[in-house]
Structure 1
């Protein structure tokens, strides 16, 4: 950027300006050259605006900018005790020359009475040419800005900023003219103790009384070039900005000072260049709005620590059509790991069951007793709402429809467990090590399930059966979802439907089952949730299950199972076809009844919960923006959802009758809990005793 500076000249030999003084620079009030031996005001202004970033001395705000300097002081006037004077004709010429030199911002650290028509016309031409003008408010300590500044603002068609001064604590300087009636265009910046005067190309040091001193300056003259430099930086970084937009950005992103909001002292507030460089207004990716602070992805437990090293760079646009490089990985959240042992031990539950003829019922209810003692009113029913209100944690009904047909219904229980019950599978119970054949990779609640089993009788040397099942649930998001800094409850659940068929067979000491199922998620991707900006439309998953059991002796059973999953992610606006996941889980367990005493059971299980083994999402994202052509370059970014860790859970369990009740002891060990490679081993033990009344 080129910054036009209309002032008293500058020292051309100063290394802070080396190679960056425009050849268009000139003395517009005479033929003396730019260097002014009688006054350093213009040089100080230029240092504040554009001093070099060279590791020494002063660094200006726009340290790489080109300086178009126009010396406008009246010849001989700087020798006066009142300081330099400036003719309106020279100021007008300087403005016109700066426009011709291609300046995007012009600094005028001058003041006084209202200018003549030539200056007003020059300011109007600058506004038409898309040039910002920054002018000092004046140093009279008055309630209104200088008439000169007010007149330039009135002629500038929204392209003029009036610069006030504050100290390091953002308190208005005693000498600075206040905003007054120009508060909408008044912006303060540091104007006290501005460093430093130069001599022979280095900062001037004065020695006196054994001490060294720097010469510093005060005044709104030195606030203005900071604002002018900020304009240059903005228009360099974002060349699409108009002059009016650059002005608006600096005024609206100012740090508030004094009375809340715009006021007659501080105007819009204090310059905050960092805030001006942040996205303003609504932001978007492509044509879809998304705030930079919004959650981009929440993964599921099956994905573990997959996003721990993820990178998903893209380009977002703000309301000024400015492009920002953003890494969406900063808005990703991994599924939270729940404390399994604590939940298992602190839950107060009661199990109720009864059987009569061909029907059996089982309920598990919350035993906290919130509604105990209240009289019952209304009809007995088990809708989802009534079950939730009554704290029914799970319910199951199995009915024998005919000699070979059984039906099962369940609430808050998945179809997998219901199918296992109808098949008569003998699975040991564990507190921590879950069975992946009952795991979809994410938490579900409010499940309702139906299963129908047909006994096929003796075939191929064994007894066979076929079970059909259906399930409806709400998939639960694995971590809090944030939208513009606030939780969004609408993102917490997702309708999930699942349908399956399973065949089972029994041959003496052996039993086996094979199952296939299809799961449809309304918005989720194996439990993960993607921001709607990607056009996510859910996913379809297919699971193939295989299990086998062997009873080598009456009291000993050994079993194993494997679940293989494939998830196809539905293509959307930014989700490309071909996005898919492969997942699997396995279990090996054994149970020995009457191990140490009659009626007890000793069990061991080693399992891997469902885990994404390969795959991810292909996202079509903007990667770059060209301001010259105003076009966006798009490309594919891969979000790998395979975790680095792999949970292996091992648990020993001992159940036995004791003192008229039942006792249990459990010992567990989890490697990489939750599929997090960096988490320490989760291990523990528990003992418990229950007595029913």
Structure 2
């Protein structure tokens, strides 16, 4: 049976450049990337300025942003690219030391020296040296296996170079046997014969990737040889390379993806700068010159990520392509344009190396006011090793992935909207309801709102609700909705206070100390003469702070003993705060545990009755927090403090209060982290560095608030003025100054 003959794709045009060493007439396409947004592959290499004149001249490399791979430490070194073409000549030393000793002629030609120039130009696009002259190939560190397969003398004919079945099939087998990882075939014109199919089957079964030029006839389907990519014998490891121009449009001559779109990608194929077997520079056009760019991309990826299977390498090239034409994989561009910027960035779900803890590249923590302006600087998270969805290791800077809860504006929530309060007393039972008014100005009543459960309707309509029951002379119990346990405890204590109706300056014992939505609360008090014991409990929720997270819950229980000594009452208490997925109101992703915390508290409280309705009050809460471990977090210990001091007067038709408070603030401690800072692909294991994350803020919020109330027209007129310095415990935050005037009537 006679050999089938393949030819170089028809229509390949070239233009001779004047001045072989310069850049005259050649425009770089695309903006060279300076790196992959802070990420580098492992291991990292010394920083080199690749963005120079040689890179600018190399328009195939710039179009694909090969600099991203180089900055990540990959040049293709250690990978052999087999080029089945017209051979290779190296008159200017562009391939010195990188021509495989296995290079040879597998046709009836003598030696692999290039008599035509096509093979040399193809090899240059893929792997010309970085040597400050002419151009550099995308994989300038790769080894080239030049396998000359053209029929002797055919390139000198008007029909162009011809390649026989026997030579090409033998070359494919030879490339596999001699260690090639990727095979480039910038030729086509005839369907694959049985002999060729068998060779491709053996190559792809061995995990060798084959790149075939898509064809230059401008057809709706790729060249007939390239169509073997869809054949089962290709095992999904054959890539069809189409051509686009400097603007990203499909080249006019390029065969399109058609029904072979799942195997098709484009690279620069119009006016590609390269040089021939005599060292002369040309601008070449044809899918012949798209294919070596794709083959070089394979080499760069395999050199950088030895953990990837050949199938994953191809999937990564497709997944990282720049979408073009119709959205998604389409019949013109297939997967799109070759894009090494994205190929060398993490793709898919990222996890901490050595664990399954999910890692966000944008936000891994949202800090509450208790941690204020604490940062991750100096925590060692600036060089954390993560694995992407392909199991590739990247060193990423996560120190900047901490956000802060928007600065609290407590006055807005405190003054509410149109509210009405109703109080009811029936013997030992007292009930107080504060409800929102509807648009008609009437309090909501009944369960007429459609679409809500009974409980949902109550929550939508009732702002707060409390009920207290005197069980006997010395015992009282209370229940509350949307109120804190401590506030309910003060209520069953007779509402004792210093006289101020404060809107902003918090009592340190009121709630958990951070912003949350109080749910249900209970309180119980029993007196033993001058000694009173009270127990409170509350449960609340915090809104989701991190993307993909859900609302989290907290529970808090306190026990306090209060002893009176004439006008002086001293209280001491202890408590336990459990948080579902937060730490003092801060949310941490799986990288930093993300599994909640437990806080033990100690409380001191003193109240002095000065007479004539005047009193002094001081309170302080100290907390010791332990966090659940996970991700990089191996130890979490925090100390926190909140305190307040106020003076006020109650009784008669007026009341006055002045309070100084320091809201909850972490004073000492943080997280002990075991951060992966190295990764070994041979063992798929990470190396770790122990470091600390300090969560004590530099800012220190201090609040001062004055409150004055006057009984008038059957109700109360309340005024408040306040000043918050370094609000949210953020040192650089501007002061928060405000005031409010309210008038209310209890019905």
Report the TM-score, using the length of structure 2 for normalisation. Answer: 0.78
Instruction: Report the alpha carbon displacement of residue 72 of structure 1 after superposing the two structures with TM.
Output: 3.5
Could you list the per-position Cα deviations for residues 338-384 of structure 1 after superposition, in whole angstroms to 9, with x for gaps in the alignment?
A: 32223334533233334455443333222345793877579xxx985
Q: Against the structure 1 CA distance between its residues 156 and 388, is the aligned structure 2 distance closer, same or farther, given a 3 Å change threshold? A: closer
Instruction: Report the alpha carbon displacement of residue 3 of structure 1 after superposing the two structures with TM.
Output: 1.5
- Residues 179, 265 of structure 1: 8 Å contact kept: yes
Instruction: Report the alpha carbon displacement of residue 221 of structure 1 after superposing the two structures with TM.
Output: 0.4
Please give the root-mean-square deviation of Cα atoms over the aligned residues, in Å.
3.6
1:46 equivalent in alignment to 2:123: yes
Could you list the per-position Cα deviations for residues 412-450 of structure 1 after superposition, in whole angstroms to 9, with x for gaps in the alignment?
A: 211111222344532322222111221413233353222
- Residues 484, 518 of structure 2: 8 Å contact kept: no
Q: Against the structure 1 CA distance between its residues 377 and 364, is the aligned structure 2 distance closer, same or farther, given a 3 Å change threshold? A: closer
> 2 CA distance for matches of 1:614 and 1:151?
66
SS in 1 for 2:733: coil
Structure 1 counterpart of 2:647, from 590, 595, 603: 590
- Per the alignment, residue 669 of structure 1 pairs with 723
1:350 equivalent in alignment to 2:420: yes
SS in 2 for 1:670: strand
Q: Against the structure 1 CA distance between its residues 164 and 571, is the aligned structure 2 distance closer, same or farther, given a 3 Å change threshold? A: closer
SS in 1 for 2:297: helix
- Residues 92, 122 of structure 1: 8 Å contact kept: yes
- Per the alignment, residue 223 of structure 1 pairs with 290
Instruction: Report the alpha carbon displacement of residue 192 of structure 1 after superposing the two structures with TM.
Output: 0.8
Q: Against the structure 1 CA distance between its residues 15 and 442, is the aligned structure 2 distance closer, same or farther, given a 3 Å change threshold? A: farther
> 2 CA distance for matches of 1:470 and 1:179?
67
SS in 2 for 1:438: coil
Instruction: Report the alpha carbon displacement of residue 512 of structure 1 after superposing the two structures with TM.
Output: 2.0
- Per the alignment, residue 507 of structure 2 pairs with 435
SS in 1 for 2:617: strand
Could you list the per-position Cα deviations for residues 303-344 of structure 1 after superposition, in whole angstroms to 9, with x for gaps in the alignment?
A: 223346466464444454333445556665433333222333
Instruction: Report the alpha carbon displacement of residue 224 of structure 1 after superposing the two structures with TM.
Output: 0.2
- Per the alignment, residue 216 of structure 2 pairs with 139
- Residues 88, 277 of structure 2: 8 Å contact kept: no
- Per the alignment, residue 654 of structure 1 pairs with 708
1:387 equivalent in alignment to 2:446: no
SS in 1 for 2:709: strand
- Residues 158, 244 of structure 1: 8 Å contact kept: yes
- Per the alignment, residue 619 of structure 2 pairs with 561
- Residues 644, 676 of structure 1: 8 Å contact kept: yes
1:107 equivalent in alignment to 2:205: no
- Residues 153, 161 of structure 1: 8 Å contact kept: no
> 2 CA distance for matches of 1:421 and 1:680?
35
Report the TM-score, using the length of structure 1 for normalisation. Answer: 0.84
Instruction: Report the alpha carbon displacement of residue 647 of structure 1 after superposing the two structures with TM.
Output: 1.3
- Per the alignment, residue 176 of structure 1 pairs with 254
- Per the alignment, residue 3 of structure 2 pairs with none
- Per the alignment, residue 160 of structure 2 pairs with 83
1:123 equivalent in alignment to 2:200: yes
> 2 CA distance for matches of 1:153 and 1:547?
78
1:304 equivalent in alignment to 2:375: no
- Per the alignment, residue 309 of structure 2 pairs with 242
Could you list the per-position Cα deviations for residues 477-503 of structure 1 after superposition, in whole angstroms to 9, with x for gaps in the alignment?
A: 3x53312xxxx5xx1132x33322211
- Residues 294, 482 of structure 1: 8 Å contact kept: no
1:492 equivalent in alignment to 2:559: no
1:467 equivalent in alignment to 2:521: no
Instruction: Report the alpha carbon displacement of residue 637 of structure 1 after superposing the two structures with TM.
Output: 5.8
- Residues 12, 34 of structure 1: 8 Å contact kept: no
Q: Against the structure 1 CA distance between its residues 534 and 585, is the aligned structure 2 distance closer, same or farther, given a 3 Å change threshold? A: closer
SS in 2 for 1:171: coil
- Per the alignment, residue 208 of structure 1 pairs with none
> 1 CA distance for matches of 2:447 and 2:511?
38
Instruction: Report the alpha carbon displacement of residue 56 of structure 1 after superposing the two structures with TM.
Output: 5.6
> 2 CA distance for matches of 1:677 and 1:244?
52
- Residues 555, 593 of structure 1: 8 Å contact kept: yes
- Per the alignment, residue 542 of structure 1 pairs with 600
> 2 CA distance for matches of 1:12 and 1:353?
96
- Residues 584, 610 of structure 1: 8 Å contact kept: yes
- Per the alignment, residue 166 of structure 1 pairs with 244
Structure 2 counterpart of 1:22, from 100, 103, 107: 100
> 2 CA distance for matches of 1:269 and 1:164?
10
SS in 1 for 2:558: strand
Could you list the per-position Cα deviations for residues 179-212 of structure 1 after superposition, in whole angstroms to 9, with x for gaps in the alignment?
A: 34544323222211212447986x74xxxxxxxx
Residues 56-65 or 666-675, more deviating: 56-65
> 1 CA distance for matches of 2:139 and 2:675?
32
Q: Against the structure 1 CA distance between its residues 573 and 167, is the aligned structure 2 distance closer, same or farther, given a 3 Å change threshold? A: closer
1:403 equivalent in alignment to 2:479: no
Structure 1 counterpart of 2:517, from 429, 432, 445: 445
- Residues 219, 254 of structure 2: 8 Å contact kept: yes
> 2 CA distance for matches of 1:399 and 1:585?
31
- Per the alignment, residue 481 of structure 1 pairs with 546
- Residues 485, 511 of structure 2: 8 Å contact kept: no
> 2 CA distance for matches of 1:373 and 1:522?
35
- Per the alignment, residue 211 of structure 1 pairs with none
- Residues 229, 263 of structure 2: 8 Å contact kept: no
1:271 equivalent in alignment to 2:341: no
- Residues 68, 101 of structure 1: 8 Å contact kept: no
Instruction: Report the alpha carbon displacement of residue 556 of structure 1 after superposing the two structures with TM.
Output: 3.7
Structure 1 counterpart of 2:665, from 611, 617, 620: 611
> 2 CA distance for matches of 1:141 and 1:482?
46
- Per the alignment, residue 392 of structure 2 pairs with 322
- Per the alignment, residue 212 of structure 1 pairs with none
- Residues 110, 136 of structure 1: 8 Å contact kept: yes
> 1 CA distance for matches of 2:676 and 2:100?
37
SS in 2 for 1:442: coil
Instruction: Report the alpha carbon displacement of residue 227 of structure 1 after superposing the two structures with TM.
Output: 0.7
Instruction: Report the alpha carbon displacement of residue 176 of structure 1 after superposing the two structures with TM.
Output: 1.9
Instruction: Report the alpha carbon displacement of residue 275 of structure 1 after superposing the two structures with TM.
Output: 3.8
- Residues 94, 128 of structure 2: 8 Å contact kept: yes
SS in 2 for 1:482: coil
Could you list the per-position Cα deviations for residues 40-76 of structure 1 after superposition, in whole angstroms to 9, with x for gaps in the alignment?
A: 3223212221234456643322232222223334444
Instruction: Report the alpha carbon displacement of residue 674 of structure 1 after superposing the two structures with TM.
Output: 1.2
SS in 1 for 2:306: coil
SS in 1 for 2:412: helix
Instruction: Report the alpha carbon displacement of residue 108 of structure 1 after superposing the two structures with TM.
Output: 1.5
More relative contact order in 1 or in 2 (CA 8 Å, sep 6+)? 2
